[in-house]
Amino acid sequence: MAATLPNPSSSHFQFDRTRQAAPQVFEHMRDQILSLVLPPGTVLSRPELALHYGISQTPVRDALMRLAEEGLVDVFPQHATRVSRIDVALARQAHFLRRSVELEIVRTLAAAADAGLVERLRATVTRQQHMLELNDLAEFTANDQLFHRQMYEAAAVPDLFALVRRQSGHLDRLRRLHLPIPGKANAVLRDHKAIVDAIASAHPDQAEAALRQHLSGTLANVDEIRSRYRDYLR
């Protein structure tokens, strides 16, 4: 499968001239991989990517090296670079990490019952609901991530959000495959509402139970996902 990365100008990508190019290419390509715009198996040509971004091959090479470190691409020296298939074992490890961190976060937040946080979380859920009505799964997913980031920030551990995100590339892609399956998006909304209600009511045990329910769905349905996207999983 040849690389079909959209022209940066057509995908609303612009370089921030105050930053180095390589990190920006890495971030953009990572988003393209996680959103499955670049699906597993896509061949990534360094010269073609450099042409797409209008830069030299050096920052593209550096970006691909960072993607390889996260296991999102497989590099075959002197041969090719491909978007990696989703590794279910690595997705399970990322899930374990995320669950461990976020269970403590929701307990902490429920113990505090911050009305301002509850208002922000409810607003995010409302935006998610609107995006689902528009069938805009990309923005639905962006608001899903925002919902969780808001909780990390409220618990005063924003750096842990970045750490978990770095480890979650395989899990995030698996979740993106799961999202269009009937019932999944509505389940995400239901779970988010339950988490917010538990935080608002100052019930740590209920918040923990709601989060466990929320994070269990995708891996519990991995066989169904594999049956639909067999070529995407390893």
Which tens digit of pLDDT belongs to each residue from 184-202? 999 999 999 999 999 999 9
What does the pLDDT look like over 10-45, one tens digit per residue? Answer: 345 788 888 899 999 999 999 999 999 999 999 999
Question: What's domain 8-83's architecture?
Answer: Orthogonal Bundle (1.10)
Burial class from Cβ neighbours inside 10 Å (0-12, 13-18, 19+) for residue 118 reads middle
- Give the pLDDT score at 12: 58
CA atoms within 13 A on the CB side of 204: 9
Region 96-109: what's the mean pLDDT? Answer: 97
Residue pair 120/17 in contact by the 8 Å Cβ criterion: no
- pTM of the full predicted structure? 0.88
Least confident of 57-66, 76-85, 113-122, 125-134: 76-85
Residue pair 11/24 in contact by the 8 Å Cβ criterion: no
Residue pair 150/144 in contact by the 8 Å Cβ criterion: no
Region 91-107: what's the mean pLDDT? Answer: 97
Neighbours of 182 (CB within 10 A): 6
Q: Which of 102, 202, 97 is nearest to 144 (CA)?
A: 102
Question: In the CATH hierarchy, which top-level class contains the domain 88-232?
Answer: mainly alpha
Domain residue ranges in the chain = 8-83, 88-232
Residues 168, 79: Cα–Cα separation, whole Å: 27
